[in-house]
Amino acid sequence: MSERVRRIGRLRSTVRRSILLPSGRAAARVLSPIDRALQPGANLFNRFLGSYVGEVTGLQLGLLVAALVALATVPMWAPLFVGNYMRTLAVACIWSIFAMGWDIQSGYTGYISFGHSALSAAAGYTTALLAVNLSPVPSFWVTIPVSILAALVLGLLIGLPSLRLSGPYFSLVTFVAVLLFYRLTIGFSETLGGENGFQAVEVFTWDFTERYYLMLVPMLLVAAALTVVARSNVGTVLVAIRENERAVSAAGLDPTKFKLWSFALSSITMGIGGVLLAHFGGNVDPTTFVVVDRSIEMIAMAVIGGMSSVLGPIGGAFLFVLLRDEILRLWFGHSTRWVMLWLLVLLVLVFARNGLFRWIWHAVGAVGGDRE
């Protein structure tokens, strides 16, 4: 172990012993009465929904309700701030779907994909191609399922041959898939639009409020669906694959089949996000959809929020997009903003490897006895 790693370990231990633990004990004393007051509501929640989405404590339920109320009332408070928070939060909803889509495959199984931007691109480009090549342009009820199906087909094409691989070999295959998709957009520019892509995709609406809710509602539905899956036997097997794939095989289960299911589920989720992003801005191009930077950003959002959860990627996506598009933008130039953002991601990786929002969720739950 190098001296630098030992110094980071000592620093992390000092911060935990001197700052985090005393602060946590003080916060617990303050929050305990609130937790007890909210516990009857939590008991009701656990009775009817606990078996599907997991049990919560009083404070966790309060935090969840507060977050939902804050999201539902964005048009009321966002205009009070300097900046275009309505647009930024709508974008954050789309990226939350991407981060959840990446996490249900990579976070749960431990098979890290660098190629998920290709899946969202498959949906986005299918939407654009249908809009450009067909006349009259099919309705959303046709283009949306076809585009999501395209993401699923591409996901299976990547997943079927690659999920029997492991470690860096699997990651490399997904990375190459993105590079291949990008080169196809350039090499077949007459068909796929080249560097400029397509600008002819119809937007859902230009009304800020309507556009925000059109992004928020699918995000909440995807979160609810993935939460149920994650809490089911399928989610348990996916986590078991990450922890010990041989043990899963020894139990008589086929890990490849479950990994393929997770990749298919992830592809559908990425397709939903890709369709929303295409109809949000009205354009589809390699920079927005295909380049590997987009995949890295999805990973960063899931990691800083907390992998192997649903709330973690959502929180990470909102934090990442708000920092990138609003908060850091006020203080730094374009290049410096990105440097500061990735430095913050690096600090989270060093000091809170399980993710900020996952840590907050369990810290709040610990006040009333976390049921995880």
- pLDDT band at residue 331, thresholds of 50, 70 and 90? confident
In this structure, of 8-22, 233-247, 304-318, the range with the lowest mean pLDDT score is 8-22
Mean pLDDT computed over 133-146: 90
At 2 the pLDDT is 65
**Average pLDDT, stretch 305-332?**
92
Q: Is the pLDDT of residue 22 over 70?
A: no
Of the chain, the percentage scoring pLDDT greater than 90 comes to 58
In this predicted structure, the answer to whether residue 370 has a pLDDT above a threshold of 60 is no
Query: Residue 5 — very low, low, confident or very high, per pLDDT cuts 50/70/90?
Result: low
Residue-range domain boundaries for the chain: 56-368
Q: Does pLDDT of 93 surpass 90?
A: yes
What is the model's pTM?
0.91
Interval 138-143 mean pLDDT: 90
Query: Is the model's pLDDT at 24 over the cut of 70?
Result: no
Fold (CATH) for 56-368: ABC transporter involved in vitamin B12 uptake, BtuC (1.10.3470)
Q: What percent of the chain has pLDDT over 70?
A: 92
Give the 3-state secondary structure of the chain: CCHHHHHHHHHHHHHHHHHHHHHHHHHHHHHHHHHHHHHHHHHHHHHHHHHHHCCCCHHHHHHHHHHHHHHHCHHHHHHHCCCCHHHHHHHHHHHHHHHHHHHHHHHHHCCCCCCHHHHHHHHHHHHHHHHHHCCCCCCHHHHHHHHHHHHHHHHHHHHHHHCCCCHHHHHHHHHHHHHHHHHHHHHCHHHHCHHHCECCCCCCCCCHHHHHHHHHHHHHHHHHHHHHHHHCHHHHHHHHHHHHHHHHHHCCCCHHHHHHHHHHHHHHHHHHHHHHHHHHHCCECHHHHCCHHHHHHHHHHHHHHCCCCCHHHHHHHHHHHHHHHHHHHHHCCHHHHHHHHHHHHHHHHHHCCCCHHHHHHHHHHHHHCCCC
Range 27-33 average pLDDT: 78
Q: Is the pLDDT of residue 202 over 60?
A: yes
